[in-house]
Amino acid sequence: MSAVSSVLARLASSFIFWAAWIIIPLIMEIVPAIGSVALLVRRRVREARRPADPIIFPDVTVIVPVYNSADTLEACVDSIANGTYPADKINVFLVNNASSDDSFAAFSRCQAAHPELAMQWLDATQGKSNALNLALYNSQGKYIVHVDSDGVLEREALANLVRRFEADPSVNVATGAIMVEPDLVEAYKPGPSRLLRRLEFMEYAQAFLAGRNYASEVDRVYTLSGAFTAFRSSAILTSWLYNADTICEDTQITFQMRYNQRQRLHVCEDAIFFVDPIEGVDKLYTQRQRWQRGSLEVAHQFGGERLSLRHALTDVNVSTLLYDHTFAFPRMIWYVALICLLAVGYSGTVVLGAMAAIYVLYVVCGFLYLLAVASFLRRLPRLRRYALGLWWVVPLLPAFNFVVFFIRLAGVINSIGTSGAWKTRTLSEERGAFASVVRSDFSRATGVVARLRDLVNYPEEEPTRDQD
């Protein structure tokens, strides 16, 4: 009987272990991934045809914030002018936010190169949010589009965005799909540098073409992309406009649209905006920390009754914040804590098997998302071929996301007790700051030890002549 009890106890222990190990990833990511792909396939079948061109393309205002954009501004404006949307229907505001380079000279060259495009230079000196608001005050036309100056529009992007608005009068807010330019990725030297950029490409492709499209389908878009977002003028101009007290103005305007304007947020997957690959690990570190801090700041601004726990299942912002700041980080720590199971009797085979099993599940989800990405890119064969050609990157994405989650956790920690003027340290600066703290603490500790030693050890007296 004791042997049977022992076996049952071991089985119960194993069951509890595996249940605890799998339940959060299964509920939070794996099942939604499978469901989202199924829903996206149904949507793709339902929307097989692109909305027809409007009888007359309406006037559009394109706002481009400028900050030390001399190296990128011309390419951005070229992409606006050379797209399929009629140039005579586009009014461009380039809003300068205290640039210290020759961005204005780049603007002058853009004027000379595209006389068919109505362009105006505005000066603002109070940050990106106020620069955007200045342009909004001067905007005209049926739609207002925000485009970052460090990227380029795909030729059909503006036209596809307007088609989506014109085909459905209920659409008042829409964000495009942000993707990394493949040619710039492949320009990097083979090795870790190019691999990092390929991982970023696949991360963006899956996030925007699969993840956010699914969120749009079920009305759970958490944030609009500040790099490429469009509004009906009637929606944005009746809002509180952009708030200058946050570093994530795109998340703040998203919360406004959802709560104050009662708007449903849409994703236009065939309106693509290309950004440059990440500059390096330091840039990745500061970027993801900044996003995390901005999310917390906006949540604080819209806190209280609207973001209460009782809305955890019904409010997308509450559930997303809970997932980001409650479930996700302990899960990451749990991965690391698995090593500690070795000290309490679990075999290395069990621990490694558990980690391998969950990793495989994440890889399967990654391939499901890749199929969704390929489906959405069917009208862009160059991008589709490139994405499918990087299928071998998918098994590496869980490890990449694991690192990114810890960077975000660092962003949460660094934001505690800091002001709105907080500046994100790079990874190199973080290492330097950590080393400085360690040296300071070590010096303090050794100083205390030295003083204690002096107290308990009397100095030896020199022998006198009488003692000799």
pLDDT tens track for 230-278: 999 999 988 888 877 776 788 888 888 887 888 888 989 889 999 999 8
H, E, C per residue of the chain: CHHHHHHHHHHHHHHHHHHHHHHHHHHHHHHHHHHHHHHHHHHHHHCCCCCCCCCCCCCEEEEEEECCCCCCHHHHHHHHHCCCCCHHHEEEEEEEECCCCCHHHHHHHHHHHCCCCEEEEEEECCCHHHHHHHHHHCCCCCEEEEECCCEEECCCHHHHHHHHHHHCCCCCEEEEEEEECHHHHHCCCCCHHHHHHHHHHHHHHHHHHHHHHHHHHCCCCCCCCCCEEEEEHHHHCCCCCCCCCCCCHHHHHHHHHHHHCCCCEEEEEEEEEEECCCCCHHHHHHHHHHHHHHHHHHHHHCCHHHHCHHHCCCCHHHHHHHHHHHHHHHHHHHHHHHHHHHHHCCCHHHHHHHHHHHHHHHHHHHHHHHHHHHHHCCCCHHHHHHHHHCHHHHHHHHHHHHHHHHHHHHHHHHHCCCCCCCCCCCHHHHHHHHHHHHHHHHHHHHHHHHHHHHHHCCCCCCCCCCCC
pLDDT of residue 464: 46
Which CATH code fits 57-303? 3.90.550.10
The string of pLDDT tens digits covering residues 396-418 is 998 898 888 778 777 767 766 55
pLDDT of residue 79: 96
Domain boundaries, the chain: 11-37+312-415, 57-303
Q: How confident is the model at residue 6 (pLDDT cuts 50, 70, 90)?
A: low
Q: What is the mean pLDDT of residues 325-351?
A: 64
The string of pLDDT tens digits covering residues 72-102 is 999 999 999 999 999 999 999 999 988 889 9
Instruction: Supply the mean pLDDT for the chain.
Output: 78
Q: Between 379 and 152, whose confidence is greater?
A: 152
Q: Does the pLDDT of residue 458 top 80, yes or no?
A: no
Q: Does the pLDDT of residue 280 top 80, yes or no?
A: yes
